Each structure stands twice: as C-alpha cells, then as structure tokens.
C-alpha cells in the first residue's frame, strides 16, 4: 500500500457526461495545450491565471477545451487542480488517488465508462502508467482516450479494457500504424468530407469506446 491519505489531500476533479457524452461516462481533464506535447494544428493554451488564449502559428482548428477554460474560470481551476496533483505525486500515490477519486464520485455507481482527457493529453510515463494501473484495477469500466502524444504509446501493452484513439493532426502523425494505433480519428469540416474519405462520423464517442478498432471522423464544431 502507498502512503497516500485521502483525508489530508484533495481528490481529483471528475465529471460525468456532457452535451456529447452520456451521464454513464465519467470524465477527466487536464489543462488544454499545456499538457498536449503532440498538438500542432489545434494547439491553443489558456493562461492559468487570466485565461487569455495563446494560439499556435500552425493553427487549423480552434481548441474547444481551451476556449472553455478561457470562458469559465472554474473549469480552468479544476483542470489545473488535477495537473498540480499529478505533478506532486509518485506513481503509486497517483494510482491510489485516481482509484479513490473515481470510487468517491457521485456518479460512480451507474458509470460504465471513463473518458480520460476530455481536455489535455497524457504527457508523461508516470501519468500513463497510473491510468493503466487504474484501468486494470477498475476493470468493470471501459477506459478510453484520444492522444496526439504518440511516442508515449509505441510498443506498449494496454489493458484489455482500455481503448486508445490516435488523433490525427499532431506532431507525430508519421508514427500512426495499424499495430500500435489501429483506432484513429481525423477532424473533418463536413459530412461530405467524411464521405469522400470513407470515414464514419463519431457523434457520441461510440466509435472511440466501442469494441471495433477502426479509423473514423470527428465533425469540427
């Protein structure tokens, strides 16, 4: 057992559902852009204190998550709360904190899935391993995420209940291959563009958490 004591440290901030996701899906976020080392065409950051947005010179798609942080200070505060806790803990303590935080969430009993990184991305080996440890421990849930930080997931065995989607449009697109990343997502601006690419459009994350590994499209909004 670790030395982590939930009585003296805050839990991680989690959500449950949103306009796109069902309320049976727990959600976890970190600050957009600040935790996205693989981002390129969508790289936008919101200042931790002021919320002011800074946009990448390569920007093709505005980051919705960063816009929400700029608009809502409480959202920004919650995501930085998570990052600060992650940075302060060891792998063992972080794993324990994740499990405790999920178990204590008010929507846990009806939860069927957990989406990691509605905002942000997995940006360290420690964080990746803590999430994988948590997925194996809470194996009655389907855990899933998108990532542009592809080097972190090369030649890595994922938990059986973890579904990872490579998000196209980042710095490491060249690393996408059918062995490490059989599931991938591409942002499109219209249904017609998706049809030309022969890609189904994922509207509710069904293709991200579903059992079939396949490429799909996300409609830009």
pLDDT for residue 61: 87
In order of 25, 75, 141, the CA distances from 102 in angstroms are: 11, 18, 11
Task: List, for residues 89-126, the tens digit of each pLDDT value.
Answer: 999 999 999 999 999 999 999 999 999 999 999 999 99
Lowest pLDDT segment from 4-18, 24-38, 99-113, 151-165:
4-18
168: containing domain: 14-174
Q: What is the mean pLDDT of residues 202-218?
A: 96
The per-residue pLDDT of the chain, averaged, comes to: 94
C-alpha to C-alpha distance for 38 and 48, rounded to whole angstroms: 20
pLDDT for 9 beyond 90? no
Per the domain annotation, does 103 fall within a domain? yes
Inter-axis angle of helices 73-88 and 125-137, nearest 10: 90
**pTM for the predicted model, two decimal places:** 0.93
Per the domain annotation, does 179 fall within a domain? no
pLDDT for 1 beyond 50? no
Share of the chain above pLDDT 70, in %: 96
Distance between alpha carbon 221 and the CA centroid of its chain, in Å?
Answer: 18
Q: What is the mean pLDDT of residues 40-47?
A: 94
Task: List, for residues 154-209, the tens digit of each pLDDT value.
Answer: 999 999 999 999 999 999 999 999 999 999 999 999 999 999 999 999 999 999 99
Lowest pLDDT segment from 43-47, 75-79, 217-221:
217-221
Residues in Cβ contact with 85 at an 8 Å cutoff, skipping those fewer than 6 apart = 9, 10, 12, 94, 97
Per the domain annotation, does 203 fall within a domain? no
pLDDT for residue 3: 54
Nearest to 168 by CA among 220, 204, 203: 220
Per the domain annotation, does 58 fall within a domain? yes
pLDDT for residue 19: 79
Per the domain annotation, does 28 fall within a domain? yes
Structural domain tally of the chain? 1
Per the domain annotation, does 18 fall within a domain? yes
Per the domain annotation, does 208 fall within a domain? no
In order of 51, 89, 178, 215, the CA distances from 25 in angstroms are: 27, 26, 27, 22
Give 4's pLDDT tier (boundaries 50, 70, 90). low
Per the domain annotation, does 25 fall within a domain? yes
Q: What is the mean pLDDT of residues 64-93?
A: 97
């Amino acid at each position: 057992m670790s030395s982590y004591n939930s009585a003296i440290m805050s839990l991680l901030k989690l959500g449950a559902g949103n306009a796109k996701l069902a309320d049976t899906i727990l959600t976890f976020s970190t600050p957009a852009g600040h935790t996205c080392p693989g981002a390129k065409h969508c790289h936008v950051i919101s200042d931790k204190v002021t919320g002011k947005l800074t946009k990448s010179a390569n920007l093709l798609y505005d980051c919705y998550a960063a816009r929400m942080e700029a608009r809502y200070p409480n959202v920004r505060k919650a995501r930085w709360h998570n990052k600060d806790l992650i940075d302060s803990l060891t792998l063992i303590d972080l794993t324990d904190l994740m499990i405790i935080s999920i178990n204590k969430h008010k929507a846990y009993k009806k939860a069927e899935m957990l989406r990691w990184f509605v905002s942000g991305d997995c940006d360290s080996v420690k964080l990746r391993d803590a999430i994988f440890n948590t997925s194996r421990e809470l194996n009655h849930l389907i855990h899933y995420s998108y990532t542009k930080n592809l080097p972190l997931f090369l030649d890595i065995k994922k938990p059986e209940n973890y579904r990872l989607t490579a998000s196209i449009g980042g710095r490491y697109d060249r690393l996408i291959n059918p062995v490490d990343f059989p599931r991938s997502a591409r942002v499109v601006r219209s249904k017609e563009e998706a049809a030309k690419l022969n890609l189904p459009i994922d509207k509710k994350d069904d293709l991200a958490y579903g059992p079939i590994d396949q490429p799909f499209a996300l409609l830009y909004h």
